[in-house]
DNA sequence: CGCGCGATTGATTCGGCTCAATAACTGTGG
DNA sequence: CCACAGTTATTGAGCCGAATCAATCGCGCG
């Protein structure tokens, strides 16, 4: 266990470059910024790592900075009635976390939890605020991101309200597939329990399992422990009434 | 009918002030801007009115400008599977409409429809873009708004996924109450059909009616045609598991 | 006054949840 | 490398909330 942490720390020291040379940056809202700004961020940022299950943010706190995810996978989960978890979206390499709370000056509205080991850069609030007032490109990329996510949320709401569990599950499988891609064996490359999938879909764990069994029996997916491989994307899109796939 | 339009047009000519003197502005993201900017907007904006049922935006188009709502009420509705309408949020005086699409450079993701007669100012895209690059206060207010709405969407998702129809209906009644306030008789001041309430809650029309009848029988609300008066807010918050009321 | 939309109520059906029992998997220590 | 314990996945049975289908009522408007 101690060994692992030690490795992770070494990995950070060795692998995280400064912002100017960061390849992950190109995926993020920091893409295309002038090198002055990047230098500025680079000197102010702080590298942080999280082990699987650890929280980057907890519902209710104030964000005093944001994380830029260098590597790893995240879930954003709200705690609903009776303490039940509802996953509202995912994050990965290149994503920015905490900006919603920081910019709306509201408390963080979801628990953000590492799905595997995560390496990230923490950038303090004042740097971000300064950049917003200075760099129009940065700001417009931030706005674009927020507005894009707002559109996605609207989609999510419509689906949740109108589609059946079976449809929603098929769609979520496709979303996971595009979001996290597949490993070398073709399985969706993210470690989610059935219970967590249920909490994305908004249903009971057993119901997820039942439909997964059905999809498997019909040859549309393959299962291996908790791992899932999609065999027939078109059929799943069909089942999920996903038209823009 | 012709009479009405004529009245409305006169009303516009008479009542809509320039941005600098606009009282509605103080509710909007244009609050607090320097008077130079306001003059600039004022000369570029165009006043538009919509009659009940008319569309400000249609799903799928590109927004080439935004509306600042001077007066009136709106619904934002997505069309889901099988053409069923899902209302994802509401708008009213002081709200900005169309900015999500404009800023994310994506097509409009919802039909925006007037719930009663609406008077609005249309501000072209280039003015907004210019202001974003020039005025940090404006931009940060825009960011704040987008991020706030993103948080609201997350809440909505959790509720939709986890609460029962009865809970959701009670909560929606409270939301309508705070969003639209009440008329002089104490009825929620918005004209929604049962069917539309159902499409906010994400349920069937008959189910809404059944629970409304229950709430009425228990003395928690009063009904008059399609109008609804809330009699016991605390009880409704209780029914809806609304803790932050 | 009558037409038609919208509200209401009842009867029936069904998707999905809950509870319960069992099987498979993961990691841990001997 | 195996046995064990604790998770996590799977399957079955029964129940319940909510959708659908069908009628009827009521009101606002021409």
A167-215 pLDDT per residue, tens = 999 999 999 999 999 999 999 999 999 999 999 999 999 999 999 999 9
**pLDDT value, residue A223:** 95
Whether the CB of B165 is less than 7 Å away from nucleic strand D comes out as yes
Give the residue from A60, A76, A142, A161 with the most B CB atoms within 10 Å of its CB, the best one to mutate: A161
**pLDDT value, residue A10:** 47
Bases on strand C under 7 Å from any protein CB: 6-11, 15-20, 24-26
Identify the CA nearest to B221 among candidates B203, B197, B200, B195. Answer: B197
Mean pLDDT on A2-29: 66
pLDDT, tens digit (0-9, with 9 covering 90-100), for B128-152: 999 988 888 898 899 999 999 999 9
CB within 8 Å: A153 and B153: yes
Rounded to a whole number, what is the distance in Å from the CA of A80 to chain B's nearest CA? Answer: 6
Residues above pLDDT 90, as percent of chain B: 77
Q: Is the pLDDT of residue A13 over 80?
A: no
- As given in the structure block, the two tokens for residue B142 are 């825009």
Length of chain B: 245
Give, in order, the Cα–Cα distances in Å from B140 to each of A57, B4, B5, B70, B116: 23, 40, 38, 22, 31
- Domain ranges (residues) in chain A: 2-141, 162-239
Number of H helices, E strands in chain B: 9, 10
- As given in the structure block, the two tokens for residue B146 are 């987008």
Collapsed DSSP state (helix, strand, coil) of residue A93: coil
Residues in A touching B202 (Cβ below 8 Å): 160-162
Residue range A162-239, CATH number:
1.10.10.10
Query: Which stretches of chain B are DSSP H helices?
Result: 2-15, 35-44, 99-104, 125-134, 136-162, 165-180, 194-201, 205-217, 233-239
Question: Which pLDDT band holds residue A2 (cuts at 50, 70, 90)?
Answer: very low
Q: Are A169 and A205 in contact (CB under 8 A)?
A: no
Rounded to a whole number, what is the distance in Å from the CA of B45 to chain A's nearest CA? Answer: 22
Whether the CB of A193 is less than 7 Å away from nucleic strand D comes out as yes
**pLDDT value, residue A15:** 62
Sheet holding B96-97, edge to edge: B46-50, B118-124, B65-71, B96-97
Residues in B touching A163 (Cβ below 8 Å): 80-81
Whether the CB of A231 is less than 7 Å away from nucleic strand D comes out as no
Matching fold, domains B2-141 and B162-239:
no
Residues in A touching B106 (Cβ below 8 Å): 147-148, 151
CA distance B144 to B35: 21
pTM for the predicted model, two decimal places? 0.89
Report the residue from A103, A144, A158 with minimal CB separation from B78.
Answer: A158
CATH 2.60.120.10 fits A2-141, yes or no: yes
CA distance A16 to A10: 10
Q: How far is CA B159 from the centre of its chain?
A: 19
């Amino acid at each position: 266990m101690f060994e692992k942490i030690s490795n992770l720390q070494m990995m950070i020291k060795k692998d995280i470059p400064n912002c100017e040379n960061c390849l992950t940056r190109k995926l993020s809202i920091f893409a295309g910024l002038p090198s002055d700004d990047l230098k500025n961020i680079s000197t102010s940022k702080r590298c942080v790592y999280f082990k699987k299950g650890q929280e980057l943010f907890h519902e209710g706190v104030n964000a005093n900075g944001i994380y830029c995810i260098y590597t790893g996978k995240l879930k954003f989960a709200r705690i609903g009635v009776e303490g039940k978890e509802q996953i509202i979206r995912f994050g990965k390499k290149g994503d920015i976390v905490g900006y919603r709370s920081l910019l709306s000056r509201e408390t963080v509205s979801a628990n953000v939890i590492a799905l595997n080991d995560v390496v990230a850069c923490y950038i303090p609030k004042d740097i971000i605020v300064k950049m917003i007032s200075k760099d129009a490109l940065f700001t417009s990329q931030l706005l674009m991101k927020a507005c894009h996510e707002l559109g996605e949320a609207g989609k999510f709401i419509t689906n949740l309200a109108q589609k059946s569990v079976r449809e929603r599950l098929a769609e979520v499988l496709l979303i996971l597939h595009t979001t996290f891609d597949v490993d070398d064996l073709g399985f969706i490359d993210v470690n989610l329990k059935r219970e967590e999938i249920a909490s994305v879909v908004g249903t009971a764990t057993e119901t997820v399992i039942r439909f997964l069994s059905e999809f498997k029996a019909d040859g549309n997916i393959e299962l291996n422990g908790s791992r899932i491989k999609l065999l027939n994307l078109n059929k799943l899109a069909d089942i999920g009434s996903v038209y823009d796939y």
